Chain A
Amino acid sequence: MTAPRPLRAIRAEWTKLRTLPSTGWLMLLAILGTVGLALAITGSLDYTHCDSPCTVDTTKLSLAGVRLGQVGIVVLAVLAVTAEYSTRTIQPTLIAVPHRFLVVLGKLGVLAMLGATTGVLAVAGSLAAGRTMLPGNGFTAAHGFPALSLADDLTRRAAIGTVLYIGLVTLLGAGLGLLLRDTAGAVTAALALLYGSPVVATFVNDPTWQHRIHRFSLMDAGLTIQATRNLAAEHIGPWAGLGVLSLYAAAAVIAGLIVFQLRDTH
């Protein structure tokens, strides 16, 4: 009872999430999905099939698994918020902590930590997968592909950026959950936002429009930070891309927060 109120709110939210069996499974799914796709991609790369000069971005490809793995953590974030509505536990929650802002803060804090933990494990696993698979496929230092290492500035930036990306999509999922209060709606909206724009970009053939869509779509802009080669070909700068994603996440969280403050719980 001695802890300050924000910490107690965080602890309460942590207890709630920790005791849900789905939390662990979804985190595991996110990590395994990311690392699994990383293994599949790096395992199927072959230096002898690469154009010369070979300009494959091995860091980016090793970390590409988050495109799939993020689904787990986004669903986790949505469920963490909306499950309270479908099971009506939101009422006891708000009786225990009447300060609604603290409730949201606690939830977001815990989710951000879970997201970052998942991100760190997934990124570490992906880079390990790349380090293991790539040299066997001809991507060796002799061919100009030193083993992936965090000592390399660009790879380190890609790794940190990917962890931040996972944290941000977690917050985005939570914000959409607060906004829509409905599991189905929020999951659909989050996945459509993430995956819809890359599909639309292939449909569209005007380079100007493709450029615009890639710049302002969550996933493409946010994952630009994974690029370590040919940065000029990217549609947006690495940190600016994460900035675009943060804007989306912030907009979802703030809108969710406002709605949460104003609305009744049912």
Chain B
Amino acid sequence: MNARESFPRLLLAEWTKLRSVSRWVITLIGAAALTIGLSYLAASGNKTNINAHADFVTGPHGEPVADAFYFVHQQVTGDATLTVRVASLTPVPGRAQLNPREGDSLVPLNDPSPFAQPAAGIMIKDSTRPGSSYASVMLTAAQGVYMQWDFDADRKGSASSGARWLRLVRSGNAITGYESADGAAWQKIGTATPKNLPSTAEIGFYVSSPATVYTSRGGGSSSVTERPTSAQATFDNVQLGSGGTWHGVPVGDQARLDEKGGVSGGGQVTEANGGYAVVGTGKVGPRPPDDDMVEAALIGVIAGLMALIAIGVLYATSEYRRGMIRTTLAATPRRGRVLAAKAIVLGTTSFLVGLAGAVGSFVLAIPVLRKQGFTPPGFPRPSLTDGSVLRALLLTAAFMAGVAVVGLAIGVLLRHSAAAITITIVLVLGPLIIGMILPGTSPKWLMYTTLAGGMATQRAKPPTITLAEPWAMIGPWAGIGVVAAWAAVTLGLAWWQLRKRDA
């Protein structure tokens, strides 16, 4: 192989072609500028008042949390040990089920988090004020035994679902949770140090039962409906070193739960046969807002993408229009290598342009969003060094590069600028428009099969079906996977056609 045919030389040749067309260089710079400009301008169109919301509760670390349950408690000072046996935990049939007519357009949200389970357990808590520090051991309805503390930390215990003995031991600031099948042989679950646990704290047993969340989306908007549920548990063999009296109290804002299938008064406790039957409702756990601040800062990507698609297609078709492809292929007769060099040069350049656009958007749009109410505690300040932010920015740049390469491949396949640009743009935008109109989770398959799925790369938060934007339904890695698959398949077809066809 002589030097002229070497691959680095070929890369250099293709890079020279890309950078020496001044119109393309301007468009590439324009792509980054469009991305940043639109992101900056559109950021002022997003607004939130979540921090001013009436039932907004913050946990010990300042994060938004849900803290509602029925607590049968007494005060305890210093070290203490509470042991109970949870004899049963059953849901209370209520009006939690929606009537079928309404239910058809509503999709129940299945939250796999252990914090989203109905639970019966024991807890030591700073006070009965919502959002105060706590540690608990509980039997959940479907996920076995857990120890949890301060709304975000958990340790999994056994997967047991029947009656279970639970024990909390306080020693100084450390709380240790145990479980047992028979009250004799105890297994340790974990040890926690809640953030603010004064020496005099509230200890007791509790029942919680998170509301079922239904989402309804389509027609360009989305809404979330909550139906409170309640659960009943029986506790017996309640043993606390000091024998005070137990008081039942609903923690959290129970007033709004009363009407719709919740429990009047937020729950109740009745003493029978030396045990206690407790009915409770509510959720104890994290409650982050659905809106994604990072995604909101990257709106302009859609504009930059259009410009990159045009460049990608022209990078292929202009060779045909000017007949230059014959010169190119005469210089490098191995056609697959030419296509590979083009894809690498275009992909790298688009990635860098996309990254500049994404980082610029983030830096400029975040301060605007902070002025629009995206502030802690609801929205902690995102930083360029956060893992999720870095992932969103890098994958967004990769998404833009991938779409540009698909444009290149479709350009080689069709050898017609207008057709290739139209098809690539429609592949990105068509499913987005249709996906916004389609109701429920039906747009999910569109996101898994078309380039529109790549929009999921812009999200820093986990996928959700509660938002109007259809790409929020799939994760960022799935999104970039769809784009990579498109790039691979279209490049493969282009390579096959390039070898087969006359130039």
Stretch of A126-134, A163-171, A206-214, A254-262 contacting B (4+ beta carbons < 8 Å): A206-214
- Let me know if B306 and A191 touch, CB within 8 A: yes
Q: Which residue of B lies closest to A64 (CB)?
A: B437
Within 8 A of B (CB), among A139-169: none
Collect the chain A residues with CB atoms within 8 Å of residue B418's CB: 75, 78-79, 82, 183-184, 187
Q: Which of B42, B102, B314 contacts A204 (CB 8 A)?
A: B42
Binding site secondary structure of chain B: helix
Stretch of B43-51, B78-86, B139-147, B334-342 contacting A (4+ beta carbons < 8 Å): B43-51
- Let me know if B299 and A188 touch, CB within 8 A: no
- Let me know if A202 and B422 touch, CB within 8 A: no
Q: Which of B105, B426, B469 contacts A202 (CB 8 A)?
A: B469
- B392 adjacent to chain A (CB < 8 Å): no
- B294 adjacent to chain A (CB < 8 Å): no
- Let me know if A196 and B101 touch, CB within 8 A: no
Asked whether A202 and B314 contact (CB < 8 A) given A184-B418, A195-B429, the answer is no
Q: How far is the CA of A91 from the CA of B302 in the complex (A)?
A: 37
- A49 adjacent to chain B (CB < 8 Å): yes
Collect the chain A residues with CB atoms within 8 Å of residue B105's CB: 49, 51
- Let me know if A67 and B433 touch, CB within 8 A: yes
- Let me know if A192 and B306 touch, CB within 8 A: yes
- B104 adjacent to chain A (CB < 8 Å): yes
- A185 adjacent to chain B (CB < 8 Å): yes
- Let me know if B42 and A205 touch, CB within 8 A: no
- A52 adjacent to chain B (CB < 8 Å): yes
Collect the chain A residues with CB atoms within 8 Å of residue B436's CB: 198, 202
Asked whether A185 and B310 contact (CB < 8 A) given A67-B433, A203-B469, A205-B47, the answer is yes
- A199 adjacent to chain B (CB < 8 Å): yes
**Chain A proximity mask over B280-305: 1 for CB below 8 Å, otherwise 0:** 00000000000100011001001100
- Let me know if B302 and A204 touch, CB within 8 A: no
Q: Which of B38, B101, B291, B422 contacts A52 (CB 8 A)?
A: B101
- B203 adjacent to chain A (CB < 8 Å): no
Q: Which of A188, A196, A205 contacts B309 (CB 8 A)?
A: A188
- Let me know if A204 and B299 touch, CB within 8 A: yes
- A86 adjacent to chain B (CB < 8 Å): yes
Collect the chain B residues with CB atoms within 8 Å of residue A49's CB: 104-105
Q: How far is the CA of A78 from the CA of B425 in the complex (A)?
A: 15
- B89 adjacent to chain A (CB < 8 Å): no
Asked whether A68 and B430 contact (CB < 8 A) given A187-B417, A188-B425, A209-B44, the answer is yes
Collect the chain A residues with CB atoms within 8 Å of residue B295's CB: 203
- A71 adjacent to chain B (CB < 8 Å): yes
Collect the chain B residues with CB atoms within 8 Å of residue A67's CB: 433
Asked whether A75 and B422 contact (CB < 8 A) given A64-B437, A202-B220, the answer is yes
- B421 adjacent to chain A (CB < 8 Å): yes
Collect the chain B residues with CB atoms within 8 Å of residue A51's CB: 101-102, 105
- Let me know if A191 and B429 touch, CB within 8 A: yes
Q: How far is the CA of A199 from the CA of B455 in the complex (A)?
A: 11
Q: Which of A64, A71, A188, A200 contacts B310 (CB 8 A)?
A: A188
B369 to chain A, nearest CB (A): 11
Within 8 A of B (CB), among A212-261: 212-213
Q: Which residue of A lies closest to B44 (CB)?
A: A209
- A12 adjacent to chain B (CB < 8 Å): no
On chain A, the number of residues with a Cβ less than 8 Å from chain B's Cβ atoms is 35
Interface size classification for chain B: 35 or more
- Let me know if B38 and A200 touch, CB within 8 A: yes
- A201 adjacent to chain B (CB < 8 Å): yes
Collect the chain A residues with CB atoms within 8 Å of residue B36's CB: none
Q: Which of A78, A79, A203 contacts B296 (CB 8 A)?
A: A203
Asked whether A196 and B306 contact (CB < 8 A) given A184-B421, A188-B425, A202-B469, the answer is yes
**Chain A proximity mask over B255-271: 1 for CB below 8 Å, otherwise 0:** 00000000000000000
A237 to chain B, nearest CB (A): 19
Q: How far is the CA of A30 from the CA of B338 in the complex (A)?
A: 35
Q: Which of A183, A188, A205 contacts B306 (CB 8 A)?
A: A188
- Let me know if A209 and B437 touch, CB within 8 A: no
Q: Which residue of B lies closest to A185 (CB)?
A: B310
- Let me know if A201 and B220 touch, CB within 8 A: yes
**Chain A proximity mask over B361-375: 1 for CB below 8 Å, otherwise 0:** 000000000001000
Collect the chain A residues with CB atoms within 8 Å of residue B307's CB: 188
Collect the chain A residues with CB atoms within 8 Å of residue B419's CB: 75
A123 to chain B, nearest CB (A): 19
- Let me know if B425 and A191 touch, CB within 8 A: yes
Q: How far is the CA of A64 from the CA of B434 in the complex (A)?
A: 10
- Let me know if B306 and A86 touch, CB within 8 A: no
Q: How far is the CA of A203 from the CA of B296 in the complex (A)?
A: 7
Within 8 A of A (CB), among B207-236: 220
A177 to chain B, nearest CB (A): 10
- Let me know if A191 and B422 touch, CB within 8 A: yes
**Chain B proximity mask over A43-79: 1 for CB below 8 Å, otherwise 0:** 0000011011000000000001001100100010011
**Chain A proximity mask over B58-82: 1 for CB below 8 Å, otherwise 0:** 0000000000000000000000000
Q: How far is the CA of A196 from the CA of B302 in the complex (A)?
A: 7
Q: How far is the CA of A213 from the CA of B45 in the complex (A)?
A: 10
- Let me know if B303 and A210 touch, CB within 8 A: no
Within 8 A of A (CB), among B294-331: 295-296, 299, 302-303, 306-307, 309-310, 313-314, 317, 321
Q: How far is the CA of A78 from the CA of B419 in the complex (A)?
A: 11
Q: How far is the CA of A201 from the CA of B432 in the complex (A)?
A: 12
Q: Which residue of B lies closest to A214 (CB)?
A: B220
- Let me know if A209 and B45 touch, CB within 8 A: yes
- Let me know if A188 and B46 touch, CB within 8 A: no
Within 8 A of A (CB), among B418-463: 418-419, 421-422, 425-426, 429-430, 432-434, 436-437
Sample (27) of A-B pairs whose CB atoms are under 8 Å apart: A49-B105, A51-B102, A52-B101, A68-B434, A75-B419, A79-B418, A183-B417, A184-B310, A184-B314, A185-B310, A187-B421, A188-B310, A188-B421, A196-B302, A198-B220, A198-B433, A199-B302, A199-B432, A200-B42, A200-B302, A202-B220, A202-B469, A203-B296, A203-B299, A205-B45, A209-B45, A209-B46
Nearest first, the 7 closest Cβ-Cβ pairs linking A and B are A209-B45, A204-B45, A195-B429, A206-B47, A192-B306, A188-B310, A184-B417
Spell out A's residues near B (CB within 8 Å).
48-49, 51-52, 64, 67-68, 71, 75, 78-79, 82, 86, 183-185, 187-188, 191-192, 195-196, 198-206, 209-210, 212-213
User: Known contacts A86-B321, A203-B42; can you find 10 more A-B pairs with CB under 8 A?
Assistant: A67-B433, A82-B418, A183-B418, A184-B421, A187-B418, A188-B307, A192-B425, A199-B432, A202-B432, A209-B42
